[in-house]
Every structure is written in structure tokens, then in C-alpha cells.
Amino acid sequence: MHVILVAPHFPANQRQFARALKQVGAYVTGIGEASVNHLDGELRAWLDAYEQVPSVVSEDALLAAVRRIQRHSWVDRLEATIESHIIATANVREKTGIPGLSTENAWLCRDKPSMKAFLRDNGIPCAQSDGVDTVAGAKAFAARVGYPLILKPRAAAGALDTSRVDTDEELERTGRAMGLDRGASIGIEEFIEGHEGFYDTLTIGGEVQLEFISHYYPGVLDAMRDRSIQPYLLTTNRIQSAGYNDLKALGRKVIQTMGLGTCATHMEWFYGPRGLKFSEIGARPPGVGTWDLYCAANGFDLYRQWAMSVVHGKLDDQPSRQFAAGMIALRPDRDGHIVGYDGAETVQRQLGKWIIDAHLPPIGARTQPIEAGYMANAWMRMRHPDYDALRKMLEYVGQTIKVRAR
């Protein structure tokens, strides 16, 4: 089978998709922005061919590259695993007759107001939401639904550029900053109180074959707005617990309703006073190295299982559920340059057997803004057979390790 993989070189874990495709027997062509001479030898060995384009999010450039490839070889699949690449890739699939995620489904997975309207119409419990293109339209929604509200780009990924507003004044100020008075269209929705997590799957022909459930502590919006918080995410190994049955049923219903076929999915959810609510879904793997956590927790290669699903339409391994696993973001105390770490040696001495890996930028490294995400600065990943014990460990790490900057 000939599989084209979009952007095999960046970010770092993209190479694992290329490696897995090659290992399960695919002929792999990469399309990327880097020169082939800038790809390392290992990655080049996993690619049978490579096409350089100015931008992988340019539909015209991507289409021209795929058509060049098709002139010389039959193409069975065209795969993208990064959120920002999904729409262009789906449009090119449709124009070149390659099976996979359709343009319509790709759009529903990217445009949040359209996604939620579609799912509400099909009985999925969601926050009230809409797309607005004027401040007046946003205020009309607020008058109807009430505060607090969430404003986000229509094609936002996670909490990127997402804001909570609690008053008309905040709504107008934030809306204008997001371009409402300059022709922009944004998503607006009611704020759902409750615990936040995610449900990730690997589906074949629309049927869930692998599933993982994870939790955010605290919710993403809070985590990305307060430097004093050392946020962490934690994936459970208790997925067969009856307490997760409703969530798994909701996730399957969303996937089937949206007509998602053979792909990875990443669905976010809330559970609070008004019960279980759908938040959003993407037809791609989760970010911040979450699949690597799943691999470490379960003693198997999830990238290989994705490649098996694409190339052979089946899996050849299952997760062990031996460990819960988590990652904690360790924020510098201010923006600037790293000058030192407190408590890292203590954590290593006390909890080293449970640490998967860690990233502590070198002294002198420039800090990154906290809104850049969980892996923007220092981080640590851990696993343990007991979910509750691991949660306490991650809390301890966050309280103990201090990242100093000036």
C-alpha cells in the first residue's frame, strides 16, 4: 500500500508515524516543508520518496505535490495527523479521489460552532454555542444565554486563543481583540462548569478499536492562564470501570454520528452539575506527546497500531493497562532565562523509579509563555500501577520542583 504522510519531520513525534508505516509494510511518501537534505538519515530511511512544498497548509501546493506523485504511482491513502493540516489534506483527498476523511467531516471537526450545532441536532449534549461576526451578535448571544461565556477562534485547537468573559465590557473588549470589528468570525459558547478530560480512540471503519481516557488537573483554560499552577494530565488504567461507561458510549455516538471512518480521534468532555457534556472532537491524535504516554503506560506501540489500521485495516496488539501515566508542566516563576531548578534532585531520589522521562531546559535557555502549552518549558512524565498514587506523585512534583528564571 502506498501512503502519503503530510509533514513527517515536524513536530518531533511525527517521525513515529513514518517509522510505523514503514514497519508494517507501506510504501511511504512524505510531503513536507523542509528540504530532504535537512531530514536526518533515520527519517529518510523510513521514507521511500519525498516531495518538498512551500507550505503543507496551502491546498494548492499540497494538491500539486499529490498530483505529481500520482503521475508516477497509485496512492492508497493520504494521511495528516496535525490539527492545522486536516482541512487542506481532506480537500486534496477529495480532488484526487483518495479515500479517507471527507471534506465535510474535516470541516465539522475544525469549525467548532458548526460541529456543536450538528451534534446538538443529533442528540449529543453540548454547550449552547454559535458563530458570531459582530460585537452586537456576541452581545445578543450573551443576552440569550447569560454569563460566563467562552470566546474562541472557530478552528481553535484546545485552549489556544480561548478566553472566558463574564461581563458585557469583557465581551466587547475581548471580541474586538479577536477581530470582531474587523470582519472576523469567532465561536461563542456557554461556560460549562465541571471536571475536564479527554477520550481518545483509534477507529477502523467508524468502529472504536482502541480507547483511552484521560483527565486534566485543573481544566485547560485555567491551566493556560495562571503561572502559579503546575498543570498535569493523567491517563487512567481503570478504563473498564463502570463509572466510565457513559463517557465511552458518548464518545462512540459522537464518532458514529459524525461519520468518522478509519482515523485517530481526540474528544474533550466535561462532567459537572449538569452531567456529562461533549466539548469538541478532532480527527487526529492528541497533542503534547500524549500518545507517548499511552505507549509507556501500556507496553505497546500505538503508532504501529495506527499504521496497522491504515495499511491493513486491523490491529496486531492491545494495551496492557498495566500503568496509569501522566505529564506535569513545570512553569518558570517568570519570563526571561532559566537560572536554576530547586527540588529536581529530591524528586529523582524519591520517585525516580516511576519517572518515564523529563525535560529541564539548560541554564540560560529562554523561557516560553505559559500559553504555549504543557511542553513549552520544563516537564516530567511518570507512570504507576495505581492511578490515585500517581496523582499524588504528580502533585508532589509540582509542589517540589521550582523553575527559576530572571
Decide if 285 is inside a domain: yes
Same-domain pairing of 233 and 352? yes
- Flag whether pLDDT at 6 surpasses 70: yes
Decide if 109 is inside a domain: no
371 pLDDT band, cuts 50/70/90, is: confident
Same-domain pairing of 176 and 209? no
Query: What is the pTM for the complete model shown?
Result: 0.92
- ∠ Cα 173 176 177 (to 5°): 85
Same-domain pairing of 220 and 360? yes
Decide if 40 is inside a domain: yes
Same-domain pairing of 66 and 154? no
Supply the range of the domain harboring residue 391.
195-405
- Flag whether pLDDT at 41 surpasses 70: yes
CA distance 68 to 233: 42
The CATH number linked to 306 is 3.30.470.20
| Predicted pLDDT at 158 | 54
- Flag whether pLDDT at 99 surpasses 60: yes
Contact 284, 83 (CB under 8 A): yes
Same-domain pairing of 170 and 254? no
Grouping H, G, I as helix, E, B as strand and the rest as coil, residue 358 is strand
Decide if 224 is inside a domain: yes
Give pLDDT tens digits for 169-211.
999 999 999 999 888 999 999 998 899 999 999 999 999 999 9
3-state SS, one letter per residue, for 42-73 = HHHHHCCEEEECCCCCCHHHHHHHHHHHHCCC
* Residue from 71, 11, 68, 4 nearest 31 by CA: 4
The CATH number linked to 15 is 3.40.50.20
Give pLDDT tens digits for 319-368.
999 999 999 999 999 999 999 999 999 999 999 999 999 999 999 999 99
CA distance 262 to 207: 8
Same-domain pairing of 249 and 265? yes
- Flag whether pLDDT at 219 surpasses 70: yes
